[in-house]
A and B are shown apart, each in its own frame.
Chain A
Amino acid sequence: MRLLRSHRNEASLATLALVVLALGLFEVLQPGGRDVASLTGDVVTFNTLVRIGILTIVVVGLNVLMGYAGQVSLGQAAFYGLGAYVSGIFTTRAEVFGLPGGLEGAWWWPWLLMGVGMAFTGLFAYLVGRPILRLKGHYLAMATLGLGIMVYILFRENFGFRTSTVNLTGGFDGLFDIPRLRLGSWELWPITRYYFLVWLAALASIAVALNLVHSRVGRALRAIHGSEVAAEAMAVDTAEFKVRALVFSAMLASLAGSLYAHFQAAVSPGPFSFIGSLELVVMAAVGGLRNVWGAPLGVALILAIEEFLRAKGHELFAGIGSEAEPVVFGIILVLIMIFLPEGLTDGLRRLPRLWQRRSGTPAASSEVTS
């Protein structure tokens, strides 16, 4: 019984796991009084590493949906938000739904909600996916965009209720005092503990996604990406597989949303807006859509750029300060899309070929010629 279907991916996963473990232990042990943030001159903090883990989970799903099934989603933040709000609402105001107040104190309640959130978001994705995934290309992108904004408005406007009568989402301000996760009485906090939980989930989702794309389902999805009619002719139930890819990505986003809610201990509608969805797509595209490994790469790069600009922007652009951040971010984004349209993973894969030094593959002919 092997974890993954391909040796190379197993090695990559093990490498990533080791890096995660090393960084975590570094923060726990603080050798020589140095913490993780000091490694990068306080640019990439430990907090950022946790956020990279959370967003990796979302982007892995998006990667499968867009890169393999070829279905664009500009509303993924809606699913992310659904997870966050299910966790947030039911851990802070379960009594609104007539649930016994004792539940909020029970350690297993948030964990159960995580599953409930995933199931609910998956069901929601299934119901909206059936009609919407009939659309293709631009039209699908726009329908998902509209859906994402609608869900965002519902969060922001407290699902249309007056906050004075039924307060579910807290409107603009959002929800506060969301409890930390616990296992029995062992709290998964401070952040060093939570870090390991988040990355365990991230690594697991990468593993699941890798297995998925290298399975019959994955081949079916790629067939759909290539040509839907041809896939149909090969007896692939295209409608069903497309919806399944959407449900898979939505459930991962929901899981990440729950983890985000318990990480921030607060949820507000901001991150689930249209801009939030765009950022997710940007992360997926920058990393590379045709490769699951693009997800952690893209998320890490984008967050690192954002953190760098936030920390050092005012030194680079005297007098302007952090306001320069979106400009530089936008320029970098445009440049990457122009010069590396297939994303970073593709760029990295092409690097060895540029140096003509890659042993073990037929393409590497340097030994023969030299």
Chain B
Amino acid sequence: MSVDAEVQQFLRKRRPAHQARGQQIAWAGVTLALLAAILYLGSQKNFGPLQYAQLVLDGLRGGTIYALIALGFVTVFNVTGIINFAQGGFVMLGAMLAVTINDWGALAQWSPGPRLAAAVLAAVLATTLIGVLVERLTIYPARNAEPLTLIIITVGVYIVMQGVALIVWGTDAYSLPAFTTLAMRDRTFRLGTVIVKAQSFWIWGVTGVTMAVLYYFFEHTMWGRALRACSVNRLAARLMGIRPDRMSMLAFGLAAAMGAIGGIVLAPATRPVYDMGLSLGLKGFVAAIMGGLVNPPAAVVGGILLGIIENVGAGVTRAGIKDIFSFIILIWVLLFRPQGLFGRQQTVEKV
């Protein structure tokens, strides 16, 4: 703990109990007012429960992807203290590589199922490798630099990635076959007027499995524990024989893999373009902030919440201002809940 933080903690007064109570009432009031506003705007458009269900379901799909991207942010931030703007680039690379490998002439005589599986696997591996390379080539040489310098470096890396993608793939939107039908047309499930595409279940399923694997990795494997040790205390981890720079490499590889998986499962539902990474990366980042930036499960909840809020918000207003909701949430969280929506007060020193 720095001297600054200690002094500040010493100076900070405890907030009396009745004030905390008042705050709770204020929160409840704000939440109710927002809900009322949504319902009012929805009623202007004659929205019924089914319309809301559709909006929430679609938001849930986007939110799951945000959650996956947010996990990449949290992993890298925990281990290295860097906010990795290149994260969105990994998402784009994963999707684009999967499309390219799937369309590759050499695999043309394979049946569509194995071909898609091979493409997905190869794309995830390739992106992971790129993530490791990025860390070695750009972060490692500057590991002692200031945070701002490192942020700018990751921004530069993102610009390079997007630039390479522009050269290789051009400005066209590509498409990956849906995982269920292995064709461009996906199966849909209908419930009244509510429509769910089969790909949505793939997105939820794959994300769920990825999170389970990550959980096992962080809790029950040597490398996972070493990573966690690094995020708790770098110096102590080093004294225990863990090499923080190796862990930083591992964290970038993991983050790249998570981004790639997110991009690939999303690809059949949207159409991947060379510049899709920027907005997805920023949303994933907002989700990570909602979770307090250091807490993986909270980041997942943050991502899902963000997806639902922005989709419902855009649904009752206009599609053009969809992005504004995430940034309103970002600033609101930073100002009033910097420890994350679910964090306890102690971590407030980070601010």
Residues on A close to B: CB < 8 A? 66, 72, 131-132, 134-139, 141-143, 145-147, 149-150, 153-154, 156-157, 160, 227-229, 274-275, 278, 281-282, 285, 320, 323-327, 329-331, 333-334, 337-338, 341
Contact with A along B318-331 (1 / 0, CB 8 A): 10110110011011
> What's the nearest-Cβ distance from chain A to residue B297, in Å?
21
Chain B contacts with A in 158-192, Cβ cutoff 8 A: 158-160, 162-164, 166-167
B149: chain A residues at CB < 8 Å are 285, 337, 341
> What's the nearest-Cβ distance from chain A to residue B1, in Å?
13
A–B complex contacts, Cβ < 8 Å, 7 sampled = A132-B335, A135-B334, A138-B151, A153-B324, A229-B3, A282-B156, A285-B149
**Residue B138 at the chain A interface, CB threshold 8 Å:** yes
Q: Are B156 and A160 in contact (CB under 8 A)?
A: no
B157: chain A residues at CB < 8 Å are 330, 334
Contact with A along B327-348 (1 / 0, CB 8 A): 1101100110010000000000
> What's the nearest-Cβ distance from chain B to residue A283, in Å?
11
Partner of B327, one of A139, A141, A147, A326: A147
A275: chain B residues at CB < 8 Å are 278
Q: Are B156 and A333 in contact (CB under 8 A)?
A: yes
**Residue B106 at the chain A interface, CB threshold 8 Å:** no
> What's the nearest-Cβ distance from chain B to residue A79, in Å?
16
Q: Are A138 and B147 in contact (CB under 8 A)?
A: yes
Q: Are A333 and B147 in contact (CB under 8 A)?
A: no
Question: Could you tell me the distance between the alpha carbons of A139 and B330 in the complex, rounded to whole angstroms?
Answer: 10
- With A143-B331, A326-B163 in contact, do A157 and B156 touch (Cβ < 8 Å)? no
Q: Are A337 and B330 in contact (CB under 8 A)?
A: no
Contact with A along B249-285 (1 / 0, CB 8 A): 0000000000000000000000000000010001001
**Residue B209 at the chain A interface, CB threshold 8 Å:** no
> What's the nearest-Cβ distance from chain A to residue B331, in Å?
5
Q: Are B323 and A153 in contact (CB under 8 A)?
A: yes
- With A281-B152, A334-B156, A341-B146 in contact, do A136 and B327 touch (Cβ < 8 Å)? no
Q: Are B327 and A132 in contact (CB under 8 A)?
A: no
Q: Are B163 and A333 in contact (CB under 8 A)?
A: no
Q: Are A142 and B289 in contact (CB under 8 A)?
A: yes
Q: Which residue of B lies closest to A154 (CB)?
A: B324
Q: Are B327 and A137 in contact (CB under 8 A)?
A: no
- With A274-B278, A338-B142 in contact, do A150 and B324 touch (Cβ < 8 Å)? yes
> What's the nearest-Cβ distance from chain B to residue A14, in Å?
32
